Amino acid sequence: MTPHFNRSRFRPGRWLAAYLPHRVRAHPAQGLTLIECLVAIVIVALVASAIAPALVIAAATRVQSQKAEQALQLAQSEIDRVRLLTERGQATDTLPVYLAKFPPRSALANQAVQTMDPPTYGAVTKDRTQLTPTNTLGIKLNSTTTVSNAAQPCDQNCDFAVQIYRTKGYPDDATKVPSAFAMGVRVYSYEAVASGSGTALSTLPLSLATTGGEGQRAKKPFAVLYTTIAIGENSTSLCDLITYTADNQGKTADKPTSCN
């Protein structure tokens, strides 16, 4: 006798309804508990605290390198400006308006150009006629990519404070630009000169090593350049340059007879 098969007991809908509650109880919905959230937050905080110093150092070093590059361009542009005026012959003019375009005269001998004292704290001006050997010219950059045609003199909220000076040169005449003279340019951070205090500023350029903050900018210049500039168009230029060079070397000038 064939057994009777009750289809109602094995209907798919009934079976599924009876099965699902057991599956839900056996495999509850997965989620994060409060403790798991706290552990995740702690892990993220530890990773961030480990990475943050490296990011700060990288950013500060990049800013310092960029400023050092701009400062070097500023120093070189200042030397080029004076050299161009000299080559044009404007250095021979005794009018004060021309003298004001040149670095302020110091009492330093030519060979002592590197021994000039650093700038005085708070001594920043935008007027070249007010410059002294220990005063600085404030410079504001209108562009972060180039210095050419983007540097404007200023006396407040500047980017750089530039110390510009020259030696007494040869011949030694305070009323004229000499035929040959040494020139120095040091480019400091504006904050270092305008707001600095304590021990005197340094005359040695800062090191471009990695830094995590202000670094050496509070005391040392970004860039330092020294050079010699000579007038080549005067009738006595060659003789003056020979005497100037001999003085720098501490020797007696061996000049041609035409110079006597």
d(CA 238, CA 232): 7
Q: Burial-class residue 227 by CB neighbours within 10 Å (0-12, 13-18, 19+).
A: middle
Q: What pTM was computed for the model?
A: 0.71
Looking at the domain assignment, is residue 35 inside a domain? Answer: no
CA separation (Å) from 51 to 48, 56, 213? 5, 9, 16
Containing structural domain, residue 141? 48-255
The whole-number pLDDT of residue 46 equals 83
Is residue 6 one of the residues assigned to a domain? no
pLDDT at 14: 57
Q: Which amino acid would we find at residue 68?
A: A
The reply to whether 27 falls in a domain is no
Task: Look at residue 202 and tell me if it is in a domain.
Answer: yes
- pLDDT tens profile 62-115: 778 888 899 999 999 999 999 888 877 666 656 666 667 889 999 998 889 999
Is 188 inside a domain boundary?
yes
What is the domain count for the chain?
Answer: 1
Rounded to whole angstroms, how far apart are CA atoms 220 and 199?
12
pLDDT at 98: 66
pLDDT < 50 stretches in the chain: 10, 26
Q: What is the pLDDT of residues 228-238, one digit of tens each?
A: 888 766 656 66
199 assigned to some structural domain? yes
Residue 160 belongs to a domain: yes
User: DSSP character for 172?
Assistant: -
Assigned domain for 171 exists? yes
